[in-house]
Amino acid sequence: MVGDFSMWPISQCFRWTRTQHFEHDRLREKRAKHHARRGHPQHYPQRRAHSCIRAGRGSGRYGLDHGGLEYLGGGAGLSFSWNYHRAILGEKKSIMSAVANVFLIGAAKAGTTALAEMLAQHPQIAGMPIKEPGHFCTDLRPDVFSKAYKRLIQWNEADYFAEAELKERHIGFVEERSHYHRLCQQAQAEKPEATHILDASTAYLYSAPAVKELAHYNNKAKIIVLLRDPIDRAWSHYTMALKYGMESESPLSAFKREAALEQAQWGRDECYLELGNYAQQLKRWKEKFGEKHLLVVFHEDLKNTPQKVLNCITEFLDLPTFVATKAKATNEGSVPKYPKMNALGMRVVAPIREKLPKEMISAMKKVLQAKAPDLDEDVARWLKQHYNEEMAELATLLNLNLTHWK
């Protein structure tokens, strides 16, 4: 009996702590009944002895940040049916339904920002306030990041979540599960009709622990992978590093420097080459989630036939098709006109970038930066040789002809 949580009367398992989560009087009445029962412990004296977890505000990894529900069930290994809970409460979509279930996991510099923006235009898909929360990358934490990367991302989890309403930002590394749940809740609150909540963290494809952590969180999640020719991806990444003052060496020197490392580390190294090792990364996800829960699409197709890619994704998610407006060009390739001045500007602007008007940022970019140059032929040959085996392995894994890549 103790091991089968789904068989317990709902009043013995949950208590509601905030009425504002309910929109209907009928639900408020049922809530009152739960409180009334809770006020008479003689109804279930043995169950209360097993109380072990309270998922209220500030309860860390297992908590609901807004304290909507307190979990009064007994020890480890218990399971319960959310469908049972919803049926009892008569609520079609409870606050507990705010769970991320669509993950756009990479690759970095492959167009994920544009794709996430287009997907969020679907009436049933809600994007999070942080496009890339990176919550399931337990190996990527700010304490191991370089000073330059910390300065670039300007991330302080406690300060960000201290705000009453979470502001939009591109990246953050959210460690607390209660904080991650709050991102889901705000996404759901801003689009109540959404049935899918999107997490578009590109670090998940790279991070080895992420696949296991994410599967533990939601093993029914749908995983979307957006791939780009790894040679083009590496070049785009290099020019981005130049733009943000993170790189000063020539491309070949920078690539060879990384190739000499035993393992490039996100946040410490640029990972120009590492992030293009798609075959070994995809294997982990395919093994864990299977082909039915994994969809691979390509940057080139998104660029040339975006609607076709969107139709493919909505079919994968069992959602009706829709027409999205083309996403604004973001993260466009550019390089500094005056490297030293650009580096100084980045140091000054980085700490206050989130507070500056977008128009001012755009004006500064026009003054300090120029369009990125085309890929150098010598660099392309070196990268092609580096990725030869990797691309052959990827073609076999996906059962696709990838000869259109360089």
Q: What's the CATH class of domain 102-333+372-398?
A: alpha beta
Token pair, residue 228, equals 């780009």
pLDDT score for 29: 53
pLDDT score for 97: 66
**For 374-396, what is each residue's pLDDT tens digit?**
899 999 999 999 999 999 999 99
pLDDT score for 348: 67
**For 188-236, what is each residue's pLDDT tens digit?**
999 999 999 999 999 999 999 999 999 999 999 999 999 999 999 999 9
| Range list of H helices, 326-357 | 339-349
CA–CA dist 93, 91 (Å, integer): 6
pLDDT score for 61: 33
CA–CA dist 170, 128 (Å, integer): 10
**For 56-115, what is each residue's pLDDT tens digit?**
333 333 333 333 333 333 333 333 333 434 433 433 444 556 999 999 999 999 999 999
pLDDT score for 48: 33
Average pLDDT (268-287) is 97
| Residues above pLDDT 70, as percent of the chain | 67
- List phi, psi (to 5°) of 340: -65, -45
Q: Where along the chain do its domains lie? A: 5-95, 102-333+372-398
Which among 65, 64, 10, 54 is positioned nearest to 33, based on CA atoms?
10
CA–CA dist 401, 399 (Å, integer): 7
Query: For the chain, what is the mean pLDDT?
Result: 78
Radius of gyration in angstroms for the set of CA atoms belonging to the chain, rounded to a whole number: 24
Helices (H) and strands (E) in the chain, counts: 17, 11
- Largest separation between any pair of C-alpha atoms in the chain: 80
Higher pLDDT residue, 339 or 63?
339
Token pair, residue 137, equals 């990358």
Q: At which residue do the structure tokens 């639900």 appear?
A: 27
**For 312-332, what is each residue's pLDDT tens digit?**
999 999 999 999 998 765 566
pTM for the whole thing? 0.72
Contact 244, 331 (CB under 8 A): no
Q: How far apart are the first and last CA of the chain?
A: 61
Contact 75, 53 (CB under 8 A): no
pLDDT class for 401, splitting at 50, 70, 90? very high
